[in-house]
Amino acid sequence: MKRSLSILLVAVMLLTVVLAGCTTPSTGGTTSGTTTGTTTGSTGTTASGGDLIGVSMPTKSLQRWNQDGENMQKMLEKAGYKVDLQYAEDNVELQVSQIENMITKGAKVLVIASIDGESLGGVLDQAAKEGIKVIAYDRLIKGTPNVDYYATFDNYKVGVIQGKYIVETLKLDKGEKGPFTMEVFGGSPDDNNAYFFNGGAMDTLKPYIDSGVLVIKSGQTEMEKIAIQGWKAAGAQARMDNLLTAFYADENVDVVLSPNDSLAQGIVASLKAAGYGSASKPYPILTGQDCDITNVKHLIAGEQSMSVFKDTRTLAEKVVGMVSAIMKGTEPEINDTKTYDNGKKVVPSYLCDPVFADVNNYKALLIDTGYYTADQLK
Ligand code: BGC
C-alpha cells in the first residue's frame, strides 16, 4: 500500500513538471528598454511563431499615445506576437532610427503613428526592400508608396461633430442671428489629420461665418496662422493669450474651435488667467477631441464644452486584425478606398467611428465601458 502510494506521488510530480514545461514560454521575458521606450518579448503562445511586430508611437507626453501603445502591445502579445514598442519624444530623427532598429531586428510588420507624416520615405524604402509591411496608425504617412494600409478614425467627421455642436448649441440652424465672436485653432501642420479636422469643422461653420453670424475678430482662419506646432498645450495657451489681448479687451470671446484636447488645455489655462469663468465673463463654447482625463475634468467643471471620444481600444483591435491578416497572407478589413491619398497612392483604410462626448454622456461612454474608473476623473 505504502509503495503504491509513493509510486502515485512520483507519477503526479512527474506529470506536474511535464505540464509546467508545456506552458513555459519558449521566448519572452520583459526587458526594460532605454528611456525612449520598452522592448517586450512575447510571453504568449506562439500561434504565429512569435513573429516580431514593430510599433512606433510619436510621444509619451500626450495621454492618448500611451493608451494606444499599451493597447497595441497587450493585444498583439495576446495574439502571439513579440512586440517592439517605441516612443519617439516627438523627435523625427529618433522615430526614424527606432524604425531602422525594428527593421534590423527582423520585424515582419511595422505599425507607425508618425510625428511628421512626410519624413519617413527613406526608412520605409528600406522596409520595402526587406518585404516588411507597413500600417499607418491614426496618422497618414505621406509621399511614399511604401505604406500598405491605414487605420484611423474618420477624421473629417471629428471636425463635423465639433462644428455641428457649435451650430446646435448657439441655435444657428434655428435662425439665431448672434452675432457671436469666435476664434479658430488648428492642429500640428505636419500632421495630415489636422487638415481633416479643420476641414470638417470649417465646412460645417462656413455658412454662418459667411453670413456674419459668427465673427472671427482676428480674421485668422488659414492653417499657417492658426496651426499649433506639435499639438502643444503651451503653444495654444500663448496664442490664446495674444488673441485675448489683441482682440478681446472690451468684448468676450463666445466660441473657441479647438481641434483636440491638448490645445483645449492650453486655451482653458489662458481663459482662466484672463478672468473667464464668472457671470460677466462665462467660459466660451470650447471644443476638443480625445477625452483625455484632464479634459473630462474640464467638461465636468464646465470649463470645456465637449470632446470627441475615439476609443483607442477599437483602433488597436482593428490594427491587430490587420496585422494578423497580413501575417496569414489574407486581405485586411478595409472600409475606405477613396479618402486618404498620400501623394503617391490612395492608401486602403479602415476608419473607426468617432463619438460626441460631453458632461451628459461621459459616464456611459467612459466609465461604464471601463475606459476610465470614476476615481481617475475625480
Ligand atoms: C490625433 C489626435 C490627437 C493629436 C495630438 C492626432 O493625429 O488624431 O487624436 O489629439 O494627434 O496628439
Domain ranges of the chain: 34-147+311-352, 155-310
- Whether 139 lines ligand 1, by a CB cut-off of 6 Å, is yes
Provide the whole-model pTM. 0.87
Nearest to 355 by CA among 316, 323, 311: 311
Q: How many CA atoms lie within 13 A of 91 on its CB side?
A: 9
Cα of 277 vs centre of ligand 1, distance in Å, is 27
Cα of 280 vs centre of ligand 1, distance in Å, is 34
Distance CA 313, CA 67 (A): 8
Cα of 4 vs centre of ligand 1, distance in Å, is 68
In CATH, which of 3.40.250.10, 3.40.50.720, 3.40.640.10, 3.40.50.2300 is domain 155-310? 3.40.50.2300
Residue pLDDT tens, the chain, 378 long: 445 545 444 444 444 433 333 333 332 222 223 333 333 333 333 344 699 999 999 999 999 999 999 999 999 999 999 999 999 999 999 999 999 999 999 999 999 999 999 999 999 999 999 999 999 999 999 999 999 999 999 999 999 999 999 999 999 999 999 999 999 999 999 999 999 999 999 999 999 999 999 999 999 999 999 999 999 999 999 999 999 999 999 999 999 999 999 999 999 999 999 999 999 999 999 999 999 999 999 999 999 999 999 999 999 999 999 999 999 999 999 999 999 999 999 999 999 999 999 999 999 999 999 999 999 999
Closest ligand 1 atom to Cα of 139? 7
Q: Whose CA is nearest to atom 10 of ligand 1?
A: 260
Cα of 138 vs centre of ligand 1, distance in Å, is 8
Q: In a mutational test of the pocket of ligand 1, which residue from 115, 138, 352 has the highest number of ligand atoms less than 8 Å from its CB?
A: 138
Characterise 114 by phi-psi region: left (phi > 0), alpha (psi -120 to 50), beta (else). Answer: beta
CATH topology identical between 34-147+311-352 and 155-310:
yes
State the cell numbers at 140. 497618414
- Whether 138 lines ligand 1, by a CB cut-off of 6 Å, is yes
- Whether 68 lines ligand 1, by a CB cut-off of 6 Å, is no
Closest ligand 1 atom to Cα of 155? 8
Q: In a mutational test of the pocket of ligand 1, which residue from 64, 140, 291, 319 has the highest number of ligand atoms less than 8 Å from its CB?
A: 64
Closest ligand 1 atom to Cα of 58? 12
pLDDT at residue 311, rounded to an integer: 96
- Whether 289 lines ligand 1, by a CB cut-off of 6 Å, is yes
Distance of CA 201 to the CA centre of its chain: 18
CB 56, CB 98: distance < 8 Å = yes
The DSSP H or E segment spanning 280 is none
Q: Whose CA is nearest to atom 9 of ligand 1?
A: 290
- Whether 62 lines ligand 1, by a CB cut-off of 6 Å, is yes
Distance CA 374, CA 215 (A): 39
- Whether 137 lines ligand 1, by a CB cut-off of 6 Å, is no
Cα of 140 vs centre of ligand 1, distance in Å, is 12
Closest ligand 1 atom to Cα of 290? 9
pLDDT at residue 49, rounded to an integer: 60
Q: Exposure pattern of 224-250 as b/e (b: 16+ CB <10 Å)?
A: eebbbebbbbebbbebbbebbeebbee
pLDDT at residue 45, rounded to an integer: 32
Closest ligand 1 atom to Cα of 62? 12
Q: How many CB atoms lie within 10 A of CB 185?
A: 25
- Whether 191 lines ligand 1, by a CB cut-off of 6 Å, is yes
Q: Could you tell me which residues are beta bridge partners of residue 109? A: 53, 133
Q: In a mutational test of the pocket of ligand 1, which residue from 290, 293, 294, 310 has the highest number of ligand atoms less than 8 Å from its CB?
A: 290
pLDDT at residue 181, rounded to an integer: 98
State the cell numbers at 312. 483607442
Closest ligand 1 atom to Cα of 260? 10
DSSP for residue 231: G
CATH code linked to domain 34-147+311-352: 3.40.50.2300
Give the per-residue SS3 of 94-162: HHHHHHHHHHHCCCCEEEECCCCCCCCHHHHHHHHHCCCEEEEECCCCCCCCCCCEEEEECHHHHHHHH
Question: The cell 475678430 sits on which residue?
Answer: 217
Q: What type of residue sits at position 35?
A: T
- Whether 231 lines ligand 1, by a CB cut-off of 6 Å, is yes
Q: How many CA atoms lie within 13 A of 356 on its CB side?
A: 10
Nearest to 72 by CA among 47, 99, 54: 54
Q: Could you tell me which residues are beta bridge partners of residue 227? A: 186
